């Protein structure tokens, strides 16, 4: 990939990702409403909500929260930019983890009991999904001998053939990462959350708007990783990857609306079991292939 192509891909992500992420969020809300027997809002409602937040007067418990939320957003944009410009996917995951740290501090700095408890749960969620995410990066390397996302799509065969276990583990991690039921222990997009707004409880105005936009960036990045499992050097792999993204998206929405939330201990145990049985076994097989 040429330097110009990398720059254009990076700029495209910065501009297009929040549009796609906001649209996916609107479709999510619409599908959720239909599954619950409601009409639901417009698929553009997420954009209307964020626009309204920018006009609200800011009210923060600590001015440092604005810096932390902005840092969280910048790091997520960096994550997606590194990914979509064909660079190191392992670095993407490390920057993603760093961004989560800033979100944690943005929540606890307000000293709100709701936000503080939610921030602690956010750390527990990170312990649950991080092993699957890092093992996925290792699986990409063992299957292709490169961490660069540009090189991961240059094979004749889609990586899902070699990495089905990693794919299952990563989708499971996405359920936790995107705070979908049954693992919405820190923040929920539904009314059943006893922590009010979770990590975003004390966020308002522009800070809350930036939080939502950052979630859109993050979701586009996560679905981009899903596409890596299906993309190869053939053009027909592009619609295949898009179809896979849509199937995973529908699965996440369906699961979110058909399951009850579990306790953090159940989430921790289940996530490690699934990771070991899927990504762990797949990793062992790939290592045997390399040894042979």
Residue-level pLDDT at 274: 92
- Give the residue, 247 or 37, on which the prediction is more confident: 247
Our count of domains for the chain comes to 1
pLDDT of 210 higher than 70: yes
pLDDT of residue 291: 59
**Burial class of residue 81, CB neighbours in 10 A (0-12, 13-18, 19+):** buried
pLDDT for residue 117: 84
Q: Is pLDDT of 2 > 60?
A: yes
N- to C-terminal Cα separation, the chain: 32
User: Looking at residues 154-160, what average pLDDT do you find?
Assistant: 87
28: Cβ–Cβ under 8 A, 6 or more apart, which residues? 189, 249, 253
Mean pLDDT of the chain: 88
Would you say residue 169 has pLDDT above 90? yes
Q: What is the pLDDT of residue 155?
A: 83
Highest mean pLDDT, choosing among 51-55, 153-157, 164-168, 184-188: 164-168
DSSP letter for 156, please: S
Residues 141, 185: contact at Cβ < 8 Å?
no
Mean pLDDT of 172-189: 84
**What is the percent of the chain where pLDDT is above 90?**
47
CA dist 218 and 130 (Å) reads 15
Mean pLDDT in residue range 68-72: 92
Is residue 163 within 8 Å of residue 139, measured between CB atoms?
A: yes
Q: What is the pLDDT of residue 229?
A: 94
Q: What is the mean pLDDT of residues 110-136?
A: 87
Dump pLDDT digits (tens) for 230-266. Answer: 998 888 889 999 999 999 999 999 998 888 888 888 8
Whether the per-residue pLDDT at 128 is higher than 80: the answer is yes
More confident residue, 118 or 254: 254
Sequence-ordered alpha helix ranges (H) in 109-204: 113-144, 149-152, 164-177
**Domain span at 207:** 3-291
Residue that the structure tokens 């891909």 belong to: 9
């Amino acid at each position: 990939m040429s330097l110009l192509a990398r720059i254009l891909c990076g700029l495209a992500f910065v501009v297009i990702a929040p549009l796609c992420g906001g649209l996916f969020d609107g479709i999510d809300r619409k599908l959720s409403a239909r599954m619950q027997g409601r009409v639901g809002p417009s698929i553009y409602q997420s954009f209307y909500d964020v626009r309204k937040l920018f006009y609200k007067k800011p009210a923060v418990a600590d001015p440092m929260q604005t810096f932390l939320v902005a840092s969280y957003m910048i790091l997520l944009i960096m994550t997606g930019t590194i990914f979509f410009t064909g660079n190191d996917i392992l670095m993407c995951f490390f920057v993603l983890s760093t961004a989560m740290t800033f979100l944690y501090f943005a929540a606890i700095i307000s000293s709100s009991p709701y936000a503080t408890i939610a921030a602690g749960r956010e750390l527990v969620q990170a312990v649950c999904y991080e092993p699957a995410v890092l093992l996925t990066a290792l699986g990409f390397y063992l299957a292709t001998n490169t961490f660069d996302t540009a090189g991961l799509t240059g094979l004749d065969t889609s990586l899902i053939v070699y990495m089905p276990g990693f794919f299952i583990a990563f989708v499971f991690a996405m359920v936790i990462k995107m705070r979908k039921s049954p693992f919405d222990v820190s923040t929920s997009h539904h009314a059943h959350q006893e922590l009010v707004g979770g990590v975003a409880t004390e966020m308002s105005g522009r800070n809350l708007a930036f939080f939502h936009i950052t979630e859109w960036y993050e979701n586009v990045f996560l679905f981009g990783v899903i596409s890596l499992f299906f993309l190869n050097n053939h053009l027909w792999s592009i619609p295949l990857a898009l179809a896979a993204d849509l199937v995973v998206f529908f699965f996440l929405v369906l699961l979110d609306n058909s399951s009850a939330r579990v306790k953090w201990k159940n989430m921790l145990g289940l996530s490690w079991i699934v990771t070991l049985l899927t990504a762990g076994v797949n990793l062992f097989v790939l290592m045997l292939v390399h040894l042979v």
